[in-house]
Amino acid sequence: MRIYSRILGTGSYLPENRLTNADLAAELAQQGVETSDEWIVERTGIRARHFASDAQGSSDLATEAARKALTAAGISADDLDLIIVATSTPDMVFPSVATMVQHNLGTAGCPAFDVQAVCSGFIYALTIADSMIQSGSAKRALVIGAEIFSRILDFKDRTTCVLFGDGAGAVVLEASEQPGILATDLHADGKYKDILCVPGHVNRGGILGDPVLKMDGQAVFKLAVGVLEDTARASLAKANMSDADIDWLIPHQANIRIMQSTAKKLKMSADKVVVTVDQHGNTSAASIPLALDTAVRDGRIQRGQTLMLEGVGGGFTWGSVLLRY
C-alpha cells in the first residue's frame, strides 16, 4: 500500500503594513526614485504588497501562518514530528527559523530545519517532507514558506524594489492511504547564480559584499517561462496524467506575465490559475503557500481537486509538486 502525504490544513499570514503601488511610489519619490502604479501594474501585475515591521522576523510570520494551518488541520503542535521552513531571509545566520517556530509553538523534540532554495524553497521543502513521510520517518509534517524580502531590497533600485513583499504560508501534511502528493520534480543549475542573488555575507564582524538583491530581470523572465513548463510536464508524466487533469495551477507569484505564459504553454485558461501577486507582490518562498491558502479559504479549491504547484527562483532552482487536495 502506497503511503501518500495529504494536506490536512493550510494557513497564511501577511504583515499589517500594506503598501499600494501609489504608497510605494510616494515613498520612493522622497528618495528621488521615480516609479508609477501604471508601470508596475503593466510590467508585473502587482498592485500592493505587505512589509513586516522592524520588530518582526521571518520566524514571527512563519509562526502566525503555522498556527492557522494547525487550527485548520485540527491538530496541535505536539502532534508534529517534522518542521521544515523554506526561507532565504532567516532571522539569524543560525539557528534556523524552523527551530524558532517550533519553540514559539510550544513544542520540542521533533526535527526542525530550514531549506534555502529562494523562490522554489516551498516546493523543495514540500518534496523533502513528502519523501520523509513516504519513507515512514515522519507522519505529520509542518511545511512553511516565510520571507521578509523588504530587508534585502535596495530601495534606490526601482527595477527590483517594486517587485517584492513579505509574508508566510504553511501546510500541515499527514501520512495517508488516500491520495495526496502524486508526483514531485526538482532541479537546479548553479551556472545561473549571478542573474538573481544577494552577494553580501557576514564576515569577521561586518558585511562583505553588497547585501541587497541583484537581478537581471529579462534573463530571469526567459529562464522562468521555459523551466516552469518543463517541470509541470515532468510531474504530470510521473503521475501518468496530462495538463487537462489539472484543476488549479498555483505557480510561484513573481510576475503575472510569467504566470500567463506558463498557463498558455500548459493549455490552461487564465481562470484556472490562482493569482495573488497583485495583492502580495513576490514573497519568494512564501508565495505558493500564500496563494494556496487564499484559494482554499475563499472556496475555489475543493477536496478531491488536482493542484499543480510550481516554483522557480535564485540558484537557479525550479520544481513542481502535483497533488490531490
Tell me the C-alpha distance between 203 and 208, whole Å: 6
Cell numbers at residue 193, please? 547564480
119 part of the active site: yes
Our finding on whether 262 is near ligand ACO (CB under 6 A) is: no
26 burial (CB, 10 Å; 0-12 / 13-18 / 19+) is exposed
Q: What is the DSSP letter of 178?
A: S
User: Nearest-CA neighbor of 162 among 287, 16, 317, 277?
Assistant: 277
Q: What is the DSSP letter of 16?
A: S
Instruction: Rule CB under 6 A: choose which of 126, 132, 143, 312 binds ligand ACO.
Output: 312
Collapse the DSSP code of 101 into the 3-class scheme (helix H, G, I; strand E, B; otherwise coil) and give the result.
helix
Angle between helices 21-29 and 37-44 (to 10 degrees): 130
Tell me the C-alpha distance between 66 and 251, whole Å: 21
Closest CB to ligand ACO among residues 49, 158: 158
Q: Scanning residues 77 to 136, which ones bind ligand ACO (CB under 6 A)?
A: 119
CB 180 to ligand ACO: min, Å = 26
Count of Cβ atoms closer than 10 Å to residue 94 Cβ: 9
CB 9 to ligand ACO: min, Å = 26
Binding mask 266-305 for ligand ACO (x = CB under 6 A): ----------------x-----------------------
CB 39 to ligand ACO: min, Å = 4
110 part of the active site: no
26: CB partners within 8 A, 6+ apart: none
103 part of the active site: no
Our finding on whether 227 is near ligand ACO (CB under 6 A) is: no
**Of 60-68, 105-113, 214-222, 259-267: span binding ligand ACO (CB under 6 A):** 214-222
Q: Which residues bind ligand ACO (CB under 6 A)?
A: 35, 39-40, 43-44, 119, 158-159, 162-163, 196, 215, 217-218, 220-221, 224, 252, 254-255, 282, 312-313
Just list the catalytic residues.
Answer: 119, 252, 282
